[in-house]
Amino acid sequence: MRARSLAVVIVLAQGLCAPAALAQSGTLALTSTVSGVEAWVDEAPVGQLRSDAALVVSNLSAGPHRIVAKKGTRTWERAVPVAADERTSVQIQIDLVGQAPVLKHLAEVAALADTMYVVQPDFTQFRLGALRGLEKLLPEGALAVASTAEGDAITYRGPPPGGNTRLLFAPAADREDALRDLVFVASLARETAPSVQLPNVEQAMLQGGLGALDAHSAFLDRDTYGDMQVEISGAFVGIGIELTRKDQALSVVTPIEGTPAHRAGIQTGDRVVSIDGTLAAGMTLPDAVKRIRGRAGTKVTLGVLREEWDAPRDFELEREAIRVQSVQSRELEPGIGYVKIRQFQEKTADDLEAALAGWKNGPLRGLVLDLRNNPGGLLTAAVEVAEKFLQYGRLVVSTQGRVKGQSARFTASRKKAHTGLPIVLLVNGGSASASEIVAGALQDWSGALLVGSRTFGKGSVQTIIPLSDGAGLRLTTARYYTPKGRSIDGTGLEPETTVAAGTLTEQGAADPQLERALIELRTRVARQNGR
């Protein structure tokens, strides 16, 4: 059943019949079927409206008037023209009756954020983000959102005369307060833009609200949630690019080596400004990912802006099955190994152990561990990788959240580890999250040397939570700290030895960062051997 609305009906009239004691030549009559509504004409309060009330204000002059109605935390405003001998009716929707819009996921997500988010959420900010998300969804002019000194406000199309109505919200006292307002606005959205489906309204509000909390929390619809489960196992269809939202823009964390994005020359730090001709400025991260992915063999065009470019350039890329082999290894020279970890997946630690055991030319004397362009992955996989090089019982990483299960200390649990092995880690701006956990732990405990450039700086932990109907929620539930208590959120890890990366053309023949890492590792191996 479609939700119906109760209304405050404000009637402006010349010569309106009013109670004898108040009858004068110019009057304003306000009537309402909603209890608890207060009303103003211009700036003069006229009293409390009850379900049986009809208040009259005399001497209303011809000309524009500002009509204000208030109930609870919401305040409505309409600008109404009044001419002599003119009778004008103005309707302002105040409350809902009957069946309100069912926003099950919104209530579910807000409850999870209220209890599990890394800090107590500001539901006034959540509400504002949700309103901005809805503003982007609706047709232009249907809804305008503004944050003012008075509070958050929306302006929406209403019935004539008077045109638009402005609705001002007081700060949300709690989650339920914000949800009531959002359910009300969802009903307005269906009135102002009937062609927009309610699930789309809810999803726009969810993405906007979560985006107001932080750049990494997001609602995952059924398709996106299913894709994420597949991606954790290391296989998906796309172009091989890891994205994040940075400074209100879609930014490339890293292209996965050997994929269409990498072969085309897309680089860490590039900004995606359009997808198939649609501007990316208003897109949520899940929406952008969904647009980029598709069937193998189909094409997608990305508009990409690089810092040194004057204008965006188009990259037409053909989607293909992306199978990320998380660990690759080779021997650089006798006794010196090289291991590249592309992503932290379920079997990464097992693959790493197999690589470490696979050297053919004698025992391993030193290791270059390459974490460049590794966007992260599973926290558990990062801990399992780091503990292979740490003494039993050493702290790998600690996390701090609001709930008991999110504050934890992860320690090395292997009694046989490759302790004492000289290690040099390669990192860059594409090394994020789980990569930074491993790099920070080895730097703090084993004295591993970092070579390359500053890491990405993602110091938060996201929990993937299944929702009803097969959807999911990615929610920031904790911040993590290196064994020495360092937070790298927003700052990253600074290498002891900074080496600029060569261009893609140069790297086809040489890798200056790897070359420097090898020089540093030889020195460490020689020092350990007393030479």
Range 327-528 has CATH code 3.40.50.720: no
Could you give the CA distance from residue 327 to residue 344 in angstroms, rounded to a whole number? 9
Which pLDDT score is estimated for 14? 36
Q: What is the DSSP letter of 429?
A: T
Beta-bridge partners for 8:
32, 92
Q: Please, how many CA atoms are within 13 Å of residue 223, restricted to the half-sphere of its CB?
A: 8
Q: Retrieve residue 466's tokens.
A: 């299944």
Report the pLDDT averaged over residues 214-227.
89
Give the active site residues: 433, 444, 458
For residues 463 and 30, which has the higher predicted lDDT (pLDDT)?
463
Which pLDDT score is estimated for 77? 79
Which pLDDT score is estimated for 321? 85
3-state secondary structure of 354: helix
Q: 447: pLDDT confidence band, cut at 50, 70 and 90?
A: confident
Least confident among 219-233, 428-442, 447-461: 219-233
Which pLDDT score is estimated for 415? 85
Which pLDDT score is estimated for 502? 67
pLDDT digits (tens, 9 = 90+) for 373-389: 898 989 999 999 999 99
Which pLDDT score is estimated for 256? 81
Could you give the CA distance from residue 337 to residue 521 in angstroms, rounded to a whole number? 10
What distance lies between CA 489 and its chain's CA centroid? Answer: 15
> Domain segments of the chain: what residues?
4-97, 104-213, 235-323, 327-528
Which pLDDT score is estimated for 54? 41
230 burial via Cβ count (<10 Å: 0-12, 13-18, 19+): exposed
Which pLDDT score is estimated for 61? 60
Q: Concatenate the DSSP letters of all residues of 398-445 into one string.
A: EEE-SSGGGSEEEE---SS--TT--EEEEE-TT--THHHHHHHHHHHH
Residue type at 63 in one-letter notation: G
pLDDT digits (tens, 9 = 90+) for 7-62: 455 454 433 333 322 222 334 455 555 566 776 666 554 444 443 444 444 445 66
Q: Concatenate the DSSP letters of all residues of 79-126 into one string.
A: EEEE-TT--EEEEEEEEEESS----HHHHHHHHHHHHHSSS---HHHH
CATH among 2.160.10.10, 3.40.1280.10, 2.30.42.10, 3.40.190.10 for 235-323 = 2.30.42.10
| Statement: residue 417 has pLDDT above 50 | yes
Mean pLDDT of the chain: 83
Least confident among 19-28, 82-91, 448-457: 19-28
For residues 435 and 335, which has the higher predicted lDDT (pLDDT)?
435
Could you give the CA distance from residue 322 to residue 235 in angstroms, rounded to a whole number? 6
Which pLDDT score is estimated for 229? 73
Report the pLDDT averaged over residues 476-501.
94
Which pLDDT score is estimated for 1? 38
| pTM as predicted | 0.73
Which pLDDT score is estimated for 503? 47
Q: 230: pLDDT confidence band, cut at 50, 70 and 90?
A: low
| Statement: residue 403 has pLDDT above 60 | yes
Report the pLDDT averaged over residues 171-178.
94
Neighbour tally for 408: CB within 10 Å: 16
pLDDT digits (tens, 9 = 90+) for 267-308: 988 999 999 999 998 788 888 988 998 888 999 999 999 999
Which pLDDT score is estimated for 360? 62
pLDDT digits (tens, 9 = 90+) for 122-163: 999 999 999 999 999 999 888 999 998 888 999 987 655 456
Query: What is the 3 state secondary structure string of 346-401?
Result: CCHHHHHHHHHCCCCCCCCCEEEEECCCCCCECHHHHHHHHHHHCCCCCEEEEEEC
Which pLDDT score is estimated for 27? 45
